[in-house]
Amino acid sequence: MVKILILNKKVIQELNKKLRYWRVTMEKGDVGVVGLGVMGYGFAMNFEDKGYTVSITNWEKDILRKLKKTETNRNLIISEDLEGFVQSLDKPRKIFLFVKAGKPTENTINKLIPLLDKGDILIDGGNTHYKDSINKTNEIEKYGIYYIGMGVSGGEEGARHGASLMPGGSPIAYKQIELMLSDIAAKAPQDDEPCVTYIGPKGSGHFTKIVHNGIEYGDIQLIAEAYFIMRYSLYLPVEKIASYFKEWNAGELNSYLIEITSKILSTYDDKTGKPMVDVILDRAGSKGTGKWASQIALDLHMPLSVTTEAVFIRYLSELKDQRIEASKILTSPNIDEASVNVEEYVEQIRRALYFAKIISYAQGFALYSRANEEYGWELDNYKIAKIFRSGCVIRAELLDKIANAYQMNNKLSNILQNDYFSSVVNSYQKEARTVVADSIKNGVPVTGLASAIGYFDNYRLEKISANLIQAQRDYFGAHTFERVDEEGSFHHKW
């Protein structure tokens, strides 16, 4: 009986995929979406496009009334209250929450729980902190209701047409939503594989998203520095810089963020006719996930320096008023006016950027491995790299290479130990050093690029200066040290 019902549903979903102008309507919703902001709305329509009947609701009722009028030929069940919404769903209910993280999500969950049945599944697709995600799972699963904490990347476009999805929680619950997630996820252009995989137990999905965002912060910062050098060291016009980013996007730097940077730099303000980038105030916002990534790295004793510098530079950018004052009293160095071959120098910047990008991804993926040791998870860096290949903000050609590296060796402690990556960073370090040294000499800020070199230089050395740190700690605080020639813990009477 149940089998026939599932079969019928599938047939109906297939029909709906094919029929554009009329719809086979089922009585119950296959999936529910609470919260019709850009993400929730995009997910609801994406599900509907794929043949699902979607129950939707929202705190703000106007949008529901509008949809009732405009979306008449879509398979939507629109409810103005949570009770009606819950009743409209087929069991076990699969409910996606796209309500603002924090209090609003909490309120929605508290109101939903008494209306749900054992075995129903709540999927939180917001940028929730992974520790909250763990707590919520514990709380909700006491009622026999499943909670999946799902990282989602790709913004409005991803939600609507395919995002990268990072679900973590009960594998039993995941199995029941696996197919629908595969249907709505982005598909990697290389092999059409859906950008979704079971990430691991409670909290791990949102953890994966936080580190993704840390990498996103690093990428954005490094790209901004490359732009800044071209603009203010090489004095290139904005349209020329746009064309270099476009060229770079055709090579090993190919990525969504390089692509949009080229498009951004080719866009002009209607009001002033100036490049858009010149009418935007240099004060960067941040919603907190980059900070969370850095906090996690600090807690787990892992260097995530490119992300962390990126967070700090956003904070420094907030000090606009102080910077205006400082610019009147703090001076630039004498600029080295050495003439360079622009084409050659731009190629050096490109290599410096690729070098630093590799370091930043190396740091992020090493953090996943560290989390496995800490939490007993089995985050699979191969699978994570694969689901980042499309849909998400950090999608890049590089991710295929990262996936290959972990496929060859799933115990790889750091991608810099892989042949491809070690050979690139060994060879591109020269250009990275030239660009960073020149910029520092000329007072052009390259904090992200420099931190990548700093990480590389410490990571590649068998011996670093930490022995002197240990000696000082032992001198002033008897904190003890290990010896190079004997096991144990020692203190010296200095």
Which stretch, 57-65, 283-291, 358-366, 377-385, contacts ligand 6PG (CB under 6 A)?
Answer: 283-291
Q: Which two tokens stand for residue 433?
A: 């050093």
Tell me the window of 50-58, 60-68, 150-158, 463-471 that interacts with ligand 6PG (CB under 6 A): 150-158
Q: Which of 289, 369, 429, 447 binds ligand 6PG (CB under 6 A)?
A: 289
- Considering the complex, state which of residue 286 and residue 404 has its C-beta at the smaller distance from ligand 6PG: 286
CB of 288 to ligand 6PG, least distance (A): 6
Tell the smallest beta-carbon distance from residue 207 to ligand 6PG (Å): 14
Give the interface segment with ligand 6PG, choosing from 147-155, 179-187, 400-408, 442-450 (CB under 6 A).
Answer: 147-155
Q: Does 133 bind ligand 6PG (CB under 6 A)?
A: no
Residue 153 interacts with ligand 6PG (CB under 6 A): yes or no: yes
Which residues ranging from 209 to 228 are in contact with ligand 6PG (CB under 6 A)?
213, 216
The site that binds ligand 6PG (CB under 6 A) totals a number of residues, namely: 13
Tell me how far, at minimum, the Cβ of 217 lies from ligand 6PG, in Å. 7
Site for ligand 6PG (CB under 6 A): which residue of 60, 70, 270, 285? Answer: 285
User: What is the spatial order of strands in the sheet that 76-78 belongs to?
Assistant: 76-78, 54-57, 31-34, 94-97, 121-124, 146-153, 164-169
Q: How many CB atoms lie within 10 A of CB 64?
A: 17
Q: Using the rule CB under 6 A, give the single segment among 72-80, 109-117, 187-195, 287-295 that binds ligand 6PG.
A: 287-295
- Taking alpha carbons only, the member of 369, 410, 361 closest to residue 253 is 361
Cα–Cα distances in angstroms (integers) from residue 215 to residues 25, 247, 371, in the given order: 43, 23, 16
Interface residue with ligand 6PG, options 184, 393, 415, 425 (CB under 6 A): 393
Q: Catalytic residue among 216, 225, 309, 431, which?
A: 216
Chain position carrying tokens 């999905």: 205
Contact positions with ligand 6PG (CB under 6 A) in 239-278: none
* Degrees, nearest 5: CA angle 172-123-23: 100
How far apart (Å, rounded) are the C-alpha atoms in residues 148 and 96?
9
According to the binding rule CB under 6 A, does residue 155 interact with ligand 6PG?
A: yes
DSSP 331: P
Helix pair 342-375, 447-459: axis angle to 10 deg: 60
Given 87, 176, 286, 414, the residue binding ligand 6PG (CB under 6 A): 286
What is the distance, to the nearest Å, from the Cα of residue 399 to the centroid of all Cα atoms in its chain?
13
According to DSSP, residue 415 is labeled: G
- What is the sign of the dihedral through the CA atoms of 46, 47, 52 and 56? negative
By CB under 6 A, residue 154 contacts ligand 6PG:
yes
Question: Which listed residue (94, 209, 291, 386) is catalytic?
Answer: 209
Q: What gap in Å lies between CA 180 and CA 108, rounded to an integer?
A: 23
How is residue 285 written in tokens?
């916002």
The answer to whether the CB of 108 falls within 8 A of the CB of 44 is no
Give me the DSSP letters along 106-147.
Answer: HHHHHHHGGG--TT-EEEE-S---HHHHHHHHHHHHTTT-EE
Q: Does 287 bind ligand 6PG (CB under 6 A)?
A: yes
392 lies in the site for ligand 6PG, by CB under 6 A: yes
* 94 vs 291 by CB, closer to ligand 6PG: 291
* Residue 127 in the binding site for ligand 6PG (CB under 6 A): yes
Active site residue 209: yes
Which residues are designated catalytic? 209, 216
Task: Tell me which residues touch ligand 6PG (CB under 6 A).
Answer: 127, 153-155, 213, 216, 285-287, 289-290, 392-393
